[in-house]
Amino acid sequence: MARIFVTGVSGFIGSHLAAALLERGDEVIGLVRTTSDTRALAPLFAQYGSRFRLVVGDLRQPESLSAGLADVDRVFHLAAVLLGTSESEFMEANVQGTRNLLEAVLRHRTPRLKRVVVTSSLAAAGPSPDGKPLTEQDPAHPVSWYGRSKLEVERVVREFAARGLPVTIARPVAVYGEREQDLARGTYPAVSLGLMPAIGLRRKHVSMIYVGDLVAGLIATESDAATGKTYFFADPLPYRDRDIVRAVADAMGKRVRLPVVVPHFVLAIGAILAELAHRFARGRPAITRDKVREIRQRWWAASPAAAGADLGWRATVPIAEGMRRAVADWRARREQQRLVHEALGDRALKTYLIAIGFGVVLEGVARIGDWYRFHPPWLIVVIVIAVFGGVMGTVSLLAARRAPAVQFVLGAIVGIGAELLNHFWLHRWTFSPDFLAGLPSDPWLLALALGLPAGIMPVLVNGIVQALYERRLRLG
């Protein structure tokens, strides 16, 4: 029985890795923070008892990393910031955190230690410039803060390899499966309504991997052949974005499939709003500007050939089966969720205040950027209080128990309706020529482009309200 230390054990990939290691008979010691959500680990405690235990620590606090590292056979380092709002946040958590961990491993190293596996990302290598799947020998050109931090993590790992640690770097591509969050937040709810969302007009291609296949790949790096090497883990070929969404629709049995294109600029505005919401609720942001930099790319493709040649590993779960499992899990968890009830008056007060706060911020940004002008200028006060606070606040409150996709549609209807009303009747605000550059001149299409981002507001407002209430419950 091997003793294995796992960081990020409460996360999506980490919880699946812990389950696989325990199932084969290992002892697993997982590193968690005091704020970690460990609900996914509850079944492991019940099934494996003393072979699974947690230690509390923080990668940014070196003195907290000693517990659990004594006499370990292997270390799997998965913990990382994925959706940060500043480059320094990525560098502190991912780069310095990795350095702190490897220093602690080096201090507590015994002859039992056979492997340290550090999880990087395809983002460290960057997108493929010509559509050809990248190999581990191709030069890296990350396009995001996250990717740059992971590339720096790899440099730190090689530094410790030179100091004698038996390390391996794993570069997963986009991972999906049970308990995954990003598809579950955006794509699944939209497809469940009969929509087929796409980001931008140009087709994109993405390498994917089912979480179970990735876990098998991580475990395969225990082979002596993996010492000192870097491996991509991916399905054999990248998928078109439309094929990924079709796999979700097939898994849901959805026959109605209405194409909906979300422009990149709408996603960028949503990222700014999500980051603002993150500052209030401190939860995981739905999307960030950094993630938008990655989503804009057309080719995220990597070749798993090296892992196949050295480790005998290959992906075995096709996307149709993987999505079927992921969607079934998403539906089961959604059924199990119970809405947290809060007094209507308390919720309404917070909803209207937060909606007004959004109005103040957005109109302030628009004023600084000179996007549009109100006639008369004092009308901005009415818009913030009556439209943002009154109308959008009410929409947010009434739709609070609806799916995020429904909230988005209702908010978008309000935004598009306001733009049409102003264009054909009110004429109370006019846009600057620079702001309208590149947008359609047809009033109906222009209203669609300008009003659609308003759909993000009810989703964010309700997300903040719910996060504040859950935080109060945790503190109380």
- List the chain domain ranges: 3-182+201-244+298-335, 344-475
Q: What are phi and psi of 204, to 5 degrees?
A: -120, 155
**Total count of residues recorded for the chain:** 476
pLDDT the model gives residue 36 = 86
**Rounded to whole angstroms, how far apart are CA atoms 227 and 116?**
9
Least trusted range by pLDDT, from 244-258, 274-288, 340-354: 274-288
Domain at 3-182+201-244+298-335: CATH code: 3.40.50.720
pLDDT of residue 404: 80
**Can you tell me the mean pLDDT for 382-409?**
89
Which residue's structure tokens are 């050809």? Answer: 132
Count of alpha carbons within 13 angstroms of residue 238, beta-carbon side: 25
Q: What is the pLDDT of residue 282?
A: 62
- What whole-number distance in Å separates Cα of residue 169 and Cα of residue 159? 12
Query: pLDDT-derived band of residue 110, with 50, 70 and 90 as boundaries?
Result: very high
pLDDT of residue 475: 41
- In the predicted model, is pLDDT for residue 205 greater than 80? yes
How high is the pLDDT of residue 339? 44
pLDDT of residue 135: 97
Q: What is the side-by-side order of every strand in the sheet holding 27-32?
A: 52-56, 27-32, 3-7, 74-77, 115-119, 167-172, 230-233
Which pLDDT belongs to residue 117? 98
**What is the value of pTM for the model shown?**
0.76
What mean pLDDT comes out for the span 333-356? 77
176's CB contacts (< 8 A; 6+ apart) are: 183, 208, 209, 210, 211, 322, 323, 326
Surface-to-core class of residue 427, CB atoms within 10 Å of its CB (0-12 exposed, 13-18 middle, 19+ buried): exposed
Alpha-carbon torsion, ordered 138, 143, 149, 152, to 10 deg: 30
Q: How many CB atoms lie within 10 A of CB 155?
A: 10
User: Angle, nearest 10°, between helix axes 211-220 and 12-23?
Assistant: 60
Looking at residue 44, what is its pLDDT?
94
Q: Find residue 206's DSSP bridge partners.
A: 239, 300
In this prediction, residue 435 has a pLDDT band, given cuts at 50, 70 and 90, of confident
Residue-level pLDDT at 129: 93
For residue 340, what pLDDT is reported? Answer: 47
Percent of the chain exceeding pLDDT 70 equals 96
Would you state the pLDDT for residue 181?
Answer: 87
**The pLDDT value given to residue 335:** 72
Percentage with pLDDT > 90 across the chain: 66
- Nearest CA to 306 out of 131, 125, 135, 133 is that of 135
More confident residue, 229 or 258: 229
Span 397-421, average pLDDT: 89
Question: Could you tell me which residues come within 8 angstroms of residue 410 by beta carbon, excluding any fewer than 6 positions away?
Answer: 395, 399, 402, 455, 458
Q: Is 50 exceeded by the pLDDT of residue 476? A: no
Write the pLDDT tens digit of every residue in 129-158. Answer: 989 999 999 999 999 999 999 999 999 999
SS3 160: helix
> What is the residue type of 236?
P
Maximum alpha-carbon separation in the chain:
79
| Rounded distance between C-alpha atoms, residue 204 and residue 239, angstroms | 8
Higher confidence at residue 402 or residue 84? Answer: 84
Look at residue 473 and tell me whether its pLDDT is greater than 60.
no
In the predicted model, what is the mean pLDDT of the chain?
91
Annotate 65-85 with DSSP letters as a single string. S-TT-TT-SEEEE----SS-S
Backbone φ/ψ region at 8: left (φ over 0), alpha (ψ -120 to 50), beta: left
Structure tokens at 237: 């070929």
Per-residue pLDDT, 343: 76
